[in-house]
A and B are shown apart, each in its own frame.
Chain A
Amino acid sequence: MKKIVAIAIFLSAFPLWSETGLEIIKKVDNNQKFSTEKFQMRMIVEKGNRKMIKSFFGYGKDMGNNSFMEFTNPEDKGVKYLKLNDELWIYFPDADEVMKISGHMLRQGMMGSDISYEDMMRKETLEKSYDVKLTGTQTVNNLECFVVELNAKTAEALYEKQIIYVDKKKYVLVKIDMHARGGRLLKTLEQFNFKKIDNRYLPQYMIMKDLRRKDSKTTIEFISVQFDVKIPPGVFSKSYLKR
Chain B
Amino acid sequence: MVQITYIIKLSIIIFFIYIGNLKSISAQENDLDTQNDTAFPENDSSATSLEEYNQPITLSGLLRNDSTYARFDKNTIQRDYFSNLLEARLILERKRIDWNFYTDMRLYRFEGGDKMGIQKAQYDKNQAKLMRAFLRYFSSIGDFTIGKLYINAGNSGIFNPFELDKSFQFSDLQYAREGFSGIEYSLPWNLNNFNLFTATGKNFKYEPVAGYNPIYGTSLQLHFLTIDAGMAMIHTDRNNNRSGLFFKGDMILGVQGSYAAHIDDKIKFQYSEANAGIDYSFYSGKITTTLLYYYNEKGARNKINYQMSAESFLKARDYILLSGVYQIDEFWNIQLPVFINIVDQSTAVIPSLTTLLSGGLSVNVQLPFFTGKTSDEFSNTRNSFTLLLRVEGKF
Which residue from chain A places its CB closest to the CB of B49 in the assembled complex?
A232
Q: With A57-B49, A221-B39 known to touch, is A112 a contact of B327 (CB < 8 Å)?
A: yes
Inter-chain CA distance A94–B172, complex, in Å, is 14
Residue of B nearest to A59 (CB): B49
Q: B359 and A112: CB pair below 8 A?
A: no
Complex interface: chain B residues within 8 A of A75 (CB): 359-360, 394
Contact A107 B330, beta carbon cutoff 8 Å: no
Chain A: minimal CB distance from B160 (Å): 11
Secondary structure at the A interface, as helix, strand, loop or mixed, is strand
Determine whether the beta carbon of B50 is less than 8 Å from that of A99: no
User: Which A residues from 151 to 199 make CB contacts under 8 A with B?
Assistant: 186, 193, 195, 197
- Is B284 touching A108 in the complex (CB atoms < 8 A)? yes
Encoded as 1 (CB less than 8 Å from any A CB) or 0, chain B from 131 to 172 comes to 010001010000100000110100111000000000000000
Name the interface residues of A77-125: CB closer than 8 Å to any CB of B: 77-78, 84, 86-87, 93-97, 99-105, 107-109, 112-114, 116
Interface segment out of the listed B65-73, B199-207, B249-257: B249-257
Of the candidates A57, A96, A112, the one whose C-beta lies within 8 Å of that of B331 is A112
Instruction: Pick the residue among B60, B228, B284, B330 that contacts A112 (CB under 8 A).
Output: B330
- A73 contacts partner chain B, Cβ-Cβ < 8 Å: yes
Residues of B within 8 A of A237 (CB): 188, 190-191
User: Measuring CB to CB, which residues of chain A are less than 8 angstroms from any residue of chain B?
Assistant: 38-40, 42, 44-47, 50-53, 55, 57-59, 73-75, 77-78, 84, 86-87, 93-97, 99-105, 107-109, 112-114, 116, 186, 193, 195, 197, 202, 204-205, 212-214, 216, 218, 221-226, 232, 237-239, 242-243
Q: Would you list the 7 A-B pairs with minimal beta carbon distance, nearest first?
A: A102-B254, A108-B285, A239-B188, A75-B360, A75-B394, A103-B250, A57-B48
Q: 20 new A-B pairs (CB below 8 Å) besides A87-B226, A224-B44, A237-B188?
A: A38-B49, A44-B32, A73-B360, A75-B394, A94-B176, A102-B281, A105-B254, A105-B281, A105-B285, A108-B281, A109-B284, A112-B327, A112-B329, A113-B330, A116-B285, A195-B40, A205-B36, A214-B329, A238-B188, A242-B136
0/1 string, B252-283, CB within 8 A of A gives 1:
01100000000000000000000000011100
Q: How far is the CB of B141 from chain A (nearest CB, A)?
A: 13
* CB proximity of A53 to chain B, nearest CB, Å: 5
Is A57 a contact of B327 with CB atoms below 8 Å?
no
A2 smallest CB distance to B (angstroms): 52
- Residue ranges of B at the interface with A (Cβ–Cβ < 8 Å): 24-25, 28-29, 32, 35-36, 39-41, 44, 46-51, 60, 91, 93, 95, 100, 102, 104, 132, 136, 138, 143, 149-150, 152, 155-157, 174, 176, 186, 188, 190-191, 193, 226, 228, 248-250, 253-254, 279-281, 284-286, 288, 327, 329-331, 333, 356-360, 394-395
B226 touches A103 (CB 8 A): yes
A214 to B228, CA, bound (A): 38
A74 to B23, CA, bound (A): 13
Nearest Cβ on chain A to B256's Cβ, whole angstroms: 8
Do residues A216 and B285 form an inter-chain contact, with CB atoms below 8 A? no
Quick check: B104 and A94 within 8 Å, CB to CB? yes
Indicate if the CB atoms of B60 and A74 lie closer than 8 Å: yes
A contact residues around B41 at 8 Å (CB) = 224
Q: Are B284 and A116 in contact (CB under 8 A)?
A: yes
Which residues of the other chain, A, contact B331 by a CB distance below 8 angstroms?
A: 47, 50, 52, 112
Question: A243 with B149: in contact, given A45-B330, A113-B330 (CB under 8 Å)?
Answer: no
Residues of B within 8 A of A238 (CB): 188, 191, 193
Most chain A CB atoms below 10 A, which of B46, B49, B136, B174: B49
B358 neighbours in A (Cβ, 8 Å): 50-52
Q: Which chain A residue shows the least CB distance to B58?
A: A77
The distance from the CB of B169 to the nearest CB of chain A, in whole angstroms, is 14
Is there contact, CB below 8 Å, between B49 and A242?
no
Residues of A within 8 A of B356 (CB): 50, 52, 112
Given A50-B358, A204-B39, A237-B188, the answer on whether A74 and B24 have CB atoms closer than 8 Å is yes
Contacts of B143 in A (CB 8 A): 239, 242
How many angstroms between the C-alpha atoms of A53 and B21 in the bound complex? 11
Asked whether A104 lies within 8 Å of B150 as measured between CB atoms, the reply is no
Q: How far is the CA of A243 from the CA of B145 in the complex (A)?
A: 11
**A104 B327 Cβ-Cβ under 8 A:** no
What are 12 A-to-B residue pairs whose CB atoms are below 8 Å?
A: A47-B331, A51-B25, A52-B356, A73-B360, A95-B150, A95-B152, A96-B150, A101-B254, A107-B284, A116-B284, A116-B285, A242-B136
